[in-house]
Structure 1
């Protein structure tokens, strides 16, 4: 039958095999568990690192990215760099996409808010300026009426002329603000010559006596289209004001022809501008958008912004990057030929002459002037305004009993002629309100 020894050996071998198999299975299970534990630990570490990266990125977005966006979008700071992701591994992830969406919404919210505030502010400013301009115009009319009641050349008459000059400067300040708020200059002119434009701009600044205009008939008597007369005059006024404010001595003005138009050149002997100031000036002169009233820092330095706004609207250009022969700044106002005008017709000239003769006859001997029989070709410096009609009618002759003309260097005669010209300018000036602006 069965050998007991063989049977025992077989049983022991089977038990050993079973035990070995169990031990092997147990070892494999332990290794599997260890591998799973290591994998879980790696996943845990990875999850912790990812959570840490997300937390760091959220803090970076809140503490660095958003403040930079606010500086650029809301405060208008130039040169501020908006940082991107601080954790490169999050690029293209939903977190990155969500942050970009928040940045876009922040930009849209700030832009819409600024536009709403800007529109409301500009509208309010324009309404205030309209009323102020009307009152200043009435003040000028009252001054001129008072001047007509008193003899020319008296101290009181000269005081009235100085007062009129101050009112003109105040009106120009309101006008430049009106332009920066998106409105038109507020005055509509007839065709005028470049000479009249230069003289009018000179009459709107404080130090007008320091401005020396080199007159040449070829350029000075060239007509400028009425639609752009006031914008060009305002722009030139800003250049002259800037030149006289930052220099001593004379400021020289000359109208020079070039191939496609004329240049009004303003040279001063000031300290000039550094590279940063030139770049900033060039930026403002080419920035044609409406002034953002929510980001204005210095309201005293808006002259270049006024010029840039007008240049973009009416088609001329300005440049201040050149150096003057006198060591200061050379400012150039370029007016293309397509902005030139035709001047008055023969019928207009004749009608104006008759109207002037009629007015002179009615005014009596008090307004008579000696000389060559024609009004001076320059405006009164204190008026700062352009005439509505573009040529001066003959002046009335002197009294019948006065057979000797007044000498050219007679100060009383010169003052009387200047006052007469001032009355003519104010009597023929057209002031139209914003709602009456003609279409181009």
Structure 2
């Protein structure tokens, strides 16, 4: 029992120590719990502060975005309002621009268009403002211009066709009367022997012949047939006949470089005579008095025959040469209003015949004498060899030359060295002479023996020629009335 009391203090001390340890542990644990709680509270507070700050930043960013959007909307509204004002101003400017373009169309472009339709080298100006060229406004203005041009062209063609029809009818009537005057003059030459009267009749006949040529050319220009039906003829005779139709025929010198009697088929005789007469009249008209004569030469080439006309005149300007080439080519429709004032109808008349019969006429080379060289090419299908016994050349026709190995003209192919039937041309059938010629005597002259026809033979020949001419004119007039003018 004594041991228990001794053990009590020690046990109490242990208990107390244990209690103290427990108390310390609890205190430490409580302290750790408080510290953890504090730390947790601090962490929570820090997180809350961070979220607040982030929210504040987000709110500030949202406020800035909203302010920027507002400013953008405000700027857009102001820009739209300004654009509407500018659009209203631009519409007024465009209206004024269109008004100026219409005025420019009426005052400048339309008059230039009318001039351009008559003189192709005159340009038609474009829009006043080049920026409108490819716009709807420019397209509408060009369309109006084209429609006006088409109306003008159609009207010109209708008026011109009517004028040509009137001229065709008028020239046909005057031409027939001129042929009758010619016949009356020939009858008077048989009735009267007075030399002075004969001289006056000759002048009257020449004047009527010149008048007839101009009437005939005018009719051809308007689409009429030349008006004469002729037989196959020597090329030299045709050129000599054309020479006799023009004023100043004495100033024309015709030579032949032909070795054989080349002829032209009947249907092309009168058209060729008209062509040569027009070219000769033009050459003589532009050759000063007292200068060298107009030189005409006949040549045979590989594809036909040529008539060369060289004049020592004033020549042609580039514009005149271009006009002549356009008329002679007959590539475009012919209008009388395009011939100028006074009308330059000669080349246009030739162009009609060139197109119808297949001739070729050029005036694009200067003459050897400084003037103009005209070349008439006759294709071989319009040529033939004439029978000199059945139909000899007239006294006015240039004589054939003796073949020599030389070339007179540089731009004309030389005549082939042939004799007799070797020429590649169809031969004209021999025909019985219309009048049996009486005996002829020979007179010695400086040039050798020349045949002289006696008076009886001359009377027979003249009467036959007169009757044949009158009959041919009547038949031509009758044929023209039955068939009507050709176009």
TM-score using structure 2 length: 0.68
Q: Deviation digits for residues 238-264 of structure 1, max 9, x if unmatched?
A: 111122222234222211111211110
> What's the offset of the Cα at 1:310?
1.4
TM-score using structure 1 length: 0.74
Please tell me whether residue 298 in structure 1 is matched to residue 341 in structure 2.
yes
> What's the offset of the Cα at 1:129?
0.9
Which range is displaced more, 198-207 or 79-88? 79-88
2:328 to 285, 289, 292: 285
CA contact (8 A) 1:192 1:225 kept: yes
271 and 286 in structure 1: CA distance in 2 versus 1, 3 angstrom threshold: same
Other structure's SS at 1:49 match: helix
298 and 86 in structure 1: CA distance in 2 versus 1, 3 angstrom threshold: closer
1:41 to 85, 105, 111: 85
Please tell me whether residue 106 in structure 1 is matched to residue 124 in structure 2.
no
418 and 336 in structure 1: CA distance in 2 versus 1, 3 angstrom threshold: farther
418 and 49 in structure 1: CA distance in 2 versus 1, 3 angstrom threshold: farther
Q: Deviation digits for residues 39-61 of structure 1, max 9, x if unmatched?
A: 21232233233323322322222
1:428 to 461, 468, 472: 468
2:161 to 88, 112, 119: 119
Between structure 1 and structure 2, the one with the greater Rg is: 2
Report what 1:240 is aligned to: 280
Instruction: Name the CA distance, whole Å, in 2 between partners of 1:320 and 1:201.
Output: 18
Q: Deviation digits for residues 188-225 of structure 1, max 9, x if unmatched?
A: 22211101111111110112222222135525x21111
335 and 41 in structure 1: CA distance in 2 versus 1, 3 angstrom threshold: same
Structure with the greater relative contact order (CA < 8 A, sep ≥ 6): 1 or 2?
1
1:57 to 80, 98, 101: 101
Instruction: Name the CA distance, whole Å, in 1 between partners of 2:166 and 2:306.
Output: 36
Please tell me whether residue 85 in structure 1 is matched to residue 127 in structure 2.
yes
Report what 1:214 is aligned to: 255
Q: What do you get for the CA RMSD once the two structures are aligned? A: 3.8
Report what 1:172 is aligned to: 213
> What's the offset of the Cα at 1:177?
0.6
Report what 2:196 is aligned to: 155
109 and 129 in structure 1: CA distance in 2 versus 1, 3 angstrom threshold: same
Instruction: Name the CA distance, whole Å, in 2 between partners of 1:415 and 1:244.
Output: 36
Matched residue count: 380
CA contact (8 A) 1:117 1:294 kept: no
Instruction: Name the CA distance, whole Å, in 2 between partners of 1:119 and 1:378.
Output: 40
217 and 35 in structure 1: CA distance in 2 versus 1, 3 angstrom threshold: closer
Instruction: Name the CA distance, whole Å, in 1 between partners of 2:345 and 2:380.
Output: 28
Report what 1:223 is aligned to: 263
315 and 22 in structure 1: CA distance in 2 versus 1, 3 angstrom threshold: closer
Which range is displaced more, 425-434 or 160-169? 425-434
> What's the offset of the Cα at 1:31?
3.8
Instruction: Name the CA distance, whole Å, in 1 between partners of 2:457 and 2:321.
Output: 43
CA contact (8 A) 2:328 2:362 kept: yes
2:378 to 303, 324, 335: 335
> What's the offset of the Cα at 1:390?
10
Instruction: Name the CA distance, whole Å, in 1 between partners of 2:112 and 2:459.
Output: 59
Task: Mark the runs of 5 or more structure 2 residues left unpaired by the alignment.
Answer: 1-59, 398-430
> What's the offset of the Cα at 1:335?
0.9
419 and 185 in structure 1: CA distance in 2 versus 1, 3 angstrom threshold: farther
Task: Mark the runs of 5 or more structure 1 residues left unpaired by the alignment.
Answer: 1-16, 353-373, 380-388, 399-403
Other structure's SS at 1:227 match: helix
CA contact (8 A) 1:180 1:290 kept: no
